[in-house]
Amino acid sequence: MKYFCRWPAILLATLTLLLFLVACGRSSRAPTASPSPTLAPAPATAPTPVLGPTATSTPRPAAPVTPTATALPKVVVLPGDEGPHFSPVEWWYFNGHVADDQGGSYSFHFVTFQRTTPEGVAPQVLQASFSDHYRGWHLVAGKLSLALASAPGSFNVQAEDWRMTGDGHDYLLAFQTGEYFLLLRAVSRKPAALHQGTGLVDLGAAGLTYYYSQTRLEGTGTLKVGTATRQVTATIWMDHQWGAFSPVGAPGKTAVGWDWLCLQLSDGSDVMASFVWDMATHQPVATYGTYIAPDGSTRHLTGNDLVLKSAGIWTSPSNGAVYPSGWTLGVLPLSLVMNLTPIMPNSEFTGGTYIGLPYWEGAVQATGTREGVVVGGKGFVELVGYASPRPGTSPR
């Protein structure tokens, strides 16, 4: 497959993918970047509805990867589906809460987007955000990479000293934002959760997508801050999603935004909820979720099971976009009610070299009850569709 022919078309395709994400803000202060530590090589294997939007470097050369045309399964099959599918849209996404050995508290999200076009595999786009809760800094960064070969049932992404690898059980994450360089190795402590029961999710007018999560990864590693290195532990969530769906709209499909959240609760259970809505009418398109019990068993949640309300708003100082802020999530059949408070209200990914559409992606603290019993937790919220593309960029 060709990588370098028709480069403008491929790069445009890549930028198209980024406009709908998350997933998939510059800091108000600018710490001085420092050299990152040497990273030893790792093995390759290694909106009931949303209440409307008011509610809620130069790529490194690599050996060519030739996509193989195969029929997609009707359900997600692991570990094989952990690897790349060379579908029109695909991403591997991680978020996490990090604690260091000096009492510091941090959070991050780290994602790789991959797009396959008739011309070949577009350069992968890596995005990362990192928040230092004590200093009040929210930093973002991004890189481009060419797709690397990976062993069956695994993925292997590398862009200079950034790494993202996994095989369904063991994961390696490494990236830098400003003076912070984070290196984590993580192990999954629960089976993968296949959303909507089989991993094949119906997004209504936006199309179909394959989607599963590793909801409890335990991570250990190091955080380099300037010249100081700290030992860290982390609780991490991983999503893998792919298919021919079109979140930003395509002929015959609806352009959508969404309010998405994941929670890791103190009783050992986890929750994912997604509220997808039409960007033109602000009406619900699809609402679904998954409850993951402490033993890893899952329960599919429908739109009738979920209620999400926001208590306030946060206005972006960079573009004027108004986001909901502070939420109450109700999971009716479980008698679960959780209040979600953003740890850093200014967690907007305002865009950069490889993205034109801002979105909000931030850590939350969770407090609430289940069947009258107090439960706590932590998680992440992602808000897409509230901000307009930056001037000079295209929404498609």
> Per mean pLDDT, which range of 46-50, 69-73, 268-272, 308-312 is the poorest?
46-50
pLDDT over 50 (residue 33) = no
Higher pLDDT, 148 or 271: 271
- Residues 381 and 396: their CA atoms lie apart, in Å, by 24
CA 6 to chain centre: 29
The upper half-sphere exposure of residue 332, i.e. CA atoms within 13 Å in the direction of its Cβ, equals: 11
Mean pLDDT of 33-57: 39
pLDDT at position 301 is 98
CB 239 within 8 A of CB 245: no
Cis peptide before 79 (omega within 30 of 0): yes
DSSP letter (8 states) at residue 371: T
- Residues 237 and 276: their CA atoms lie apart, in Å, by 20
pLDDT digits (tens, 9 = 90+) for 91-100: 999 999 999 9
- Residues 394 and 111: their CA atoms lie apart, in Å, by 21
DSSP letter (8 states) at residue 268: S
pLDDT over 90 (residue 72) = no
pLDDT over 80 (residue 17) = no
What stretch of H or E contains 110? strand 105-114
Percent of the chain with pLDDT over 90: 62
- Residues 140 and 162: their CA atoms lie apart, in Å, by 14
Q: How many CB atoms lie within 10 A of CB 311?
A: 12
pLDDT over 70 (residue 295) = yes
pLDDT at position 390 is 53
- Residues 383 and 53: their CA atoms lie apart, in Å, by 9
Report the chain's mean pLDDT, rounded to a whole number: 82
pLDDT band (50, 70, 90) for residue 204? confident
DSSP letter (8 states) at residue 355: B
> Per mean pLDDT, which range of 22-36, 159-173, 359-373 is the poorest?
22-36
pLDDT over 50 (residue 120) = yes
DSSP letter (8 states) at residue 27: -
Mean pLDDT of 374-380: 98
pLDDT over 90 (residue 389) = no
Cα dist from 317 to 10, 25, 66, 314, 344, whole Å: 33, 10, 44, 9, 14
Mean pLDDT of 43-55: 37
pLDDT at position 117 is 80
Number of helices followed by number of strands (H, E) in the chain: 1, 24
SS3 15: helix
pLDDT at position 279 is 86
The upper half-sphere exposure of residue 372, i.e. CA atoms within 13 Å in the direction of its Cβ, equals: 0
> Per mean pLDDT, which range of 94-108, 152-166, 348-362 is the poorest?
348-362
Strand partners for 324: 313
pLDDT over 70 (residue 332) = yes
| φ, ψ for residue 18, nearest 5 deg | -70, -20
pLDDT at position 379 is 98
CATH superfamily of this structure's domain 7-46+57-384: AttH-like domain (2.40.370.10)
pLDDT band (50, 70, 90) for residue 16? very low
Higher pLDDT, 307 or 150: 307
pLDDT at position 13 is 41
- Residues 277 and 263: their CA atoms lie apart, in Å, by 21
Closest to 364 (Cα-Cα) out of 375, 373, 372, 376 = 376
pLDDT band (50, 70, 90) for residue 355? low
Percent of the chain with pLDDT over 70: 76
- Residues 176 and 215: their CA atoms lie apart, in Å, by 24
Q: Strand locations in 269-321, DSSP E?
A: 270-278, 284-292, 298-302, 306-315
SS3 232: strand
pLDDT at position 115 is 86
Higher pLDDT, 25 or 359: 359
Q: Which two tokens stand for residue 341?
A: 């408070």
Classify burial at 252, counting beta carbons within 10 Å of its beta carbon; exposed 0-12, middle 13-18, buried 19 or more.
exposed
Mean pLDDT of 42-56: 38
Mean pLDDT of 342-359: 83
pLDDT digits (tens, 9 = 90+) for 268-285: 999 999 999 988 888 999
Cα dist from 47 to 42, 282, 288, whole Å: 41, 9, 10
What pairing do the DSSP bridges indicate for beta strands 208-225 and 193-194? Answer: antiparallel
SS3 395: coil
Q: Which two tokens stand for residue 332?
A: 């009716």
Higher pLDDT, 260 or 252: 260
pLDDT over 70 (residue 194) = yes
pLDDT digits (tens, 9 = 90+) for 181-193: 999 999 999 999 9
